[in-house]
Amino acid sequence: MNNETIFEKSKKGRRAIRFNKPDVPTDVAIPKKLCRKNDANLSEVSELDCVRHFTDASRNNFGVDTNFYPLGSCTMKYNPKLGEEVASYRGFSDIHPLLPQLRRGGLLTQGALQVIYETERLLSEITGMAEFTMQPFAGAHGELTGIMIIAAYHKSKGNKKTKIIVPNSSHGTNPASAAIGGYKIVSIPTNEQGTIDFTEFEKQLDNEVAGVMMTCPNTLGIFETDIKKVADKVHEIDGLMYYDGANLNAILGKCRSGDVGFDIVHINLHKTFATPHGGGGPGAGPVGVVEKLKKFLPISAVVKRSDSTFSLEYDKPSSIGYIAPFYGNFGVILKAYSYILTLGKEGLIRVSENAVLNANYIKEKLKKYYHLPYDKPCMHECVFSAKKQAEKGVSAVDIAKSLIDRGFHPPTIYFPLNVKEAIMIEPTETESKETIDAFIEAMIEIAKLAEENPKELHDAPQKTPVGRLDEVKAVKELKLCI
């Protein structure tokens, strides 16, 4: 593989384009004092050299368009290109975000306001909530919005609440969001079935609990079967149930969080509804609430008037206020809107069914080779432990790096934290049986190598432009150059 930079390929005097001598004066256009004294340090290559260099570099990119990404809906689920096309329509992409707030600007943005309004209605139907706000820009931003709504609710009732309960199988950002809201965090352990320890939960529940934040299915890929019992207990003390919708991909059309007792929901649109976000963005974390919490939602809100036109409403005296400068990440909302309308109710149900089927297929095929801490039907992801391989000196990260040599992106490792040497595999609904079988074979081959020749796994990856990197130094000692 050629790893030369474009500057190393540079040959003095070689040009991609040669301009004709100008036939108009040019020496008066830019004041001399503003002109650079020396030529810019640019590479000198032909157009063909330039095209080949960057085409070759693009082949080193590893993405969901080229390879299987068992990080699933959590990070890099495949999404149809239709959403990208819809989001790129100039009628949407060229709108200035302040236009709806300007005089008569609402009339010029009716289509965009209608998309936001109708996406809110669709999400309400999917989750069983009364109303949504599309404003939060990410899942954690949605969590913060939800915590602010919990605080506003209790303040309005004069409740003295100081604690939020978070099971240790919930998403890792939940405790941080609750702490930012000023609450003390009470962690509940996982029982032998991989769900919340209900006995311990009852011990910790008292009148100071403002709410419970749960992820379902949880980070072990297991459905929380005691949700209704937990919700009933929380509501008895006037607490609120918060649903982290990061794993919504597993239950679309099968279970509505509002129907089992949750009061507040955030959805990661970018995970479930058609925007891959590996690398940190873009995201969207709309928040839905039950009827009694509607008045606390952020401003502004998109409303439909009696003449069927759309506008922004600011007159919400109980609102938690502004949590975003505009109306959400509109490009992500557009992709989600087109994804939901394209698939329809039956299509969304098939998404969940196929995602769960694929995860359970992998679980059953690999449990002979990797330790399965919770051997029961999983939802859209299955969590193994590499502790058997660790006894031979092979860690989860060795297994992950070895998958790269075999053409697969590594799954999530070392998460969830309550599983030692965790390997979380999330195949999603879009992968074929042939692709999943090839991944299973690679995992089995690696498990056998761990027994017979563990050193080979320590040296992985060996078929990539660079070998095993020091991941700590990569985070702590950033050295970037162009």
Nearest to 328 by CA among 171, 123, 176, 177: 123
**C-alpha span between 44 and 57 (Å, rounded):** 18
Based on DSSP, count helices (H) and strands (E) in the chain, helices before strands.
17, 12
pLDDT value at position 177? 94
Q: Count CB-CB contacts under 10 A for residue 188.
A: 24
Question: Helix/strand/coil (H, E, C) string of 192-249?
Answer: CCCCECHHHHHHHCCCCEEEEEEECCCCCCCCCCCHHHHHHHHHHCCCEEEEEECCHH
The separation between the first and the last C-alpha atoms of the chain, rounded to the nearest angstrom, is: 20
- Residue 126 near residue 336 (C-beta atoms within 8 A): no
pLDDT value at position 4? 86
Place of tokens 């998460």: 415
Q: Give per-residue pLDDT as tens, 213-244.
A: 999 999 999 999 999 999 999 999 999 999 99
Q: Give per-residue pLDDT as tens, 314-373.
A: 999 999 999 998 889 999 999 999 999 999 999 999 999 999 999 999 999 999 999 999
Tell me what the mean pLDDT of segment 410-439 comes to: 94
pLDDT value at position 74? 64
pLDDT value at position 482? 56
pLDDT value at position 481? 64
pLDDT confidence bin for 270, thresholds 50/70/90? confident
pLDDT confidence bin for 280, thresholds 50/70/90? low
Token pair in block for residue 186: 């009470």
pLDDT confidence bin for 73, thresholds 50/70/90? low
pLDDT value at position 345? 96
Q: Give per-residue pLDDT as tens, 76-112.
A: 788 889 999 999 999 999 999 899 988 888 899 999 9
Largest Cα separation within the chain, whole Å, is 86
What DSSP designation does 102 have?
Answer: S
- Residue 421 near residue 373 (C-beta atoms within 8 A): no
| Residue percentage of the chain with pLDDT more than 70 | 97
